[in-house]
Amino acid sequence: MESSQYPQGDYRRAAPVIGPGHSSRSITDKLASVVLTTNTPIGWFVFMFFGFTLFLGLNVALTYLFAKGIGIWGNNVPVGWAFDIINFVWWIGIGHAGTLISAILLLFKQDWRTSINRFAEAMTLFAVACALIFPIVHTGRPWLAAYWLLPYPNAMTIWPNFRSPLIWDVFAVSTYGSVSLLFWFIGLIPDLATFRDKAENPIVKRIYGILALGWRGSAIHWARYEHAYLLLAGLSTPLVLSVHTVVSFDFAVSVLPGWHATIFPPYFVAGAIFAGFAMVITLAIPLRAMYGLQDFITMRHLENMAKVTLVTGLVVVYGYFCEAFFGWYSANEYERFMMWNRTWHGPYAWSYWTLLLCNFIVPQLFWFKKCRQSIPILFMVCMFVNVGMWLERFVIIVTSLHRDFLPSSWEMYYPTKWDFITLFGTIGLFMTLMFLFVRVLPLISVFEMRTLLPEANPKQPEGGSH
């Protein structure tokens, strides 16, 4: 079966999670050589140039926003929430796959998570960083966000209203960002020690040495480390499920047709994982090609991620059908009008059908093993999903707001160029952070890759002392 298109031979067998012939040394050398080198791949500069250019656009857009206010955006009455909240929900959703991979798959003992968890966690952090921009700037007056968002004793003696899901969101997202950062850093400590010991340049050695906190691989440290890591995974699992649930409450707790639905929490969580896995595949494909990591991110990983994308995608589609069903079954004329307006005779019906194409029709290709194993098809489907999940939030937010209960308050929404510059600017920020990360930190967890080797699991001697 060596002639198979499948790189590991027989395509019907599960591919290994690590290529054959690897040892602790070869894994360490390969992954350290990605960072501890002066030889940066040309592709890195291309991505960095592209990302950083877009990021500069974000700076211009935000500076102009702070100078002029949100009048530069297309937001109006009644579409008071538009690109700002669409982008926020989209980015937060993308982040979810990282925590799912690092925490939930760890609890389920899925060893294939090991080679993708590190950069997926980094992706989570950077996606949350992009998301956090929007709640802070969406009023155009970011310096006021402090007392709107955070409960702190201020000179006005006013406090946020904790009966509102918007303040729950502040707690959910800030907890999520902080815990993800902690989880990521704890995971990095042993690898930073490896880099400290492998670095040749004394300044580089010193920097990794400080960050590694003096980690020396002591058995007692490892025991506490694994204990704490497992607890963190156990704590992150309900956290990640709560975050998008709370984000969905921003909508579900309101009384607007199209938002006020009990399906929202599970539907949003599934959508978040769907979007996140698509983004992990989108990132994994160029990274493994650029750094020659095909032995570590094998077809097994890509295929498993494609399967998760397919399943969560079907849950999302179930959400779409539920929304339509609720619209009809409620027998409420506003709910029925909303569905009819969203899907058929409204001016934004095109966005609904494009959404179904991206999130429903195209991902069905993942039923076929040949498609899951073809890199170009994987990449293309995931790009469709990335766009589709953005459109989903556009459909939910704009089509529900633009025609509400009173026809006299109806208004069309048109984004301006500043809306688009801000959206693409955050993509630039994300790319900039991601490629800086792969340049200076291990993008695959080196010590966890070592544990995949058979010799890393020695037999306990007979009559051991415990």
Residues 206-265 that bind another protein (CB under 8 A): 209-210, 213-228, 231-232, 235-236, 238-239, 242, 246, 249
The helix (H) or strand (E) run that includes residue 27 is helix 24-35
Residue 358 to residues 93, 361, 371, 394: CA-CA distances in angstroms?
16, 6, 16, 13
| Phi, then psi, of 17 in degrees rounded to 5 | -85, -10
Assess 155 for contact with another protein (CB under 8 A): no
Instruction: Give 153 or 407: the residue with its C-beta nearer to another protein.
Output: 153
Q: What is the token pair recorded at 124?
A: 């989570």
Out of 41, 142, 197, 353, which residue is the one contacting another protein (CB under 8 A)?
197
Instruction: Give 178 or 294: the residue with its C-beta nearer to another protein.
Output: 178
DSSP state, residue 100: I
Q: What is the token pair recorded at 206?
A: 């010193």
The Cα–Cα gap between 52 and 49 comes to 5
CB atoms near residue 109 (< 10 Å): 7
Site for another protein in 411-450 (CB under 8 A): 447-448, 450
| Phi, then psi, of 441 in degrees rounded to 5 | -130, 160
**What residues contact 439, with CB distance under 8 A and at least 6 apart?**
35, 40, 44
- Select the span of 122-130, 195-203, 321-329, 360-368 touching another protein (CB under 8 A): 195-203
Instruction: Give 269 or 421: the residue with its C-beta nearer to another protein.
Output: 269
Assess 184 for contact with another protein (CB under 8 A): no
Q: Provide, rounded to whole angstroms, the least separation between the CB of residue 223 and another protein.
A: 4
Instruction: Give 62 or 188: the residue with its C-beta nearer to another protein.
Output: 188
Assess 5 for contact with another protein (CB under 8 A): no
Site for another protein in 292-351 (CB under 8 A): none
Instruction: Give 65 or 179: the residue with its C-beta nearer to another protein.
Output: 179
Out of 35, 172, 270, 389, which residue is the one contacting another protein (CB under 8 A)?
172
The Cα–Cα gap between 10 and 4 comes to 6
The Cα–Cα gap between 244 and 96 comes to 8
Q: Phi-psi bin for 141: left (phi > 0), alpha (psi -120 to 50), beta? A: beta
Instruction: Give 192 or 284: the residue with its C-beta nearer to another protein.
Output: 192
Assess 186 for contact with another protein (CB under 8 A): yes
Helices 375-394 and 83-99 cross at an angle (nearest 10°) of 140
- Total of chain residues touching another protein, rule CB under 8 A: 71
Q: Provide, rounded to whole angstroms, the least separation between the CB of residue 383 and another protein.
A: 33
Instruction: Give 232 or 299: the residue with its C-beta nearer to another protein.
Output: 232
Instruction: Give 2 or 462: the residue with its C-beta nearer to another protein.
Output: 462
Instruction: Give 184 or 390: the residue with its C-beta nearer to another protein.
Output: 184
The Cα–Cα gap between 46 and 54 comes to 13
**What residues contact 94, with CB distance under 8 A and at least 6 apart?**
123, 127, 272, 275, 276, 279, 389
Q: Provide, rounded to whole angstroms, the least separation between the CB of residue 30 and another protein.
A: 12
Give me the 445-464 binding string for another protein, x by CB under 8 A, dash otherwise. --xx-xx---xxxxxxx--x
Site for another protein in 23-82 (CB under 8 A): 23-25, 28
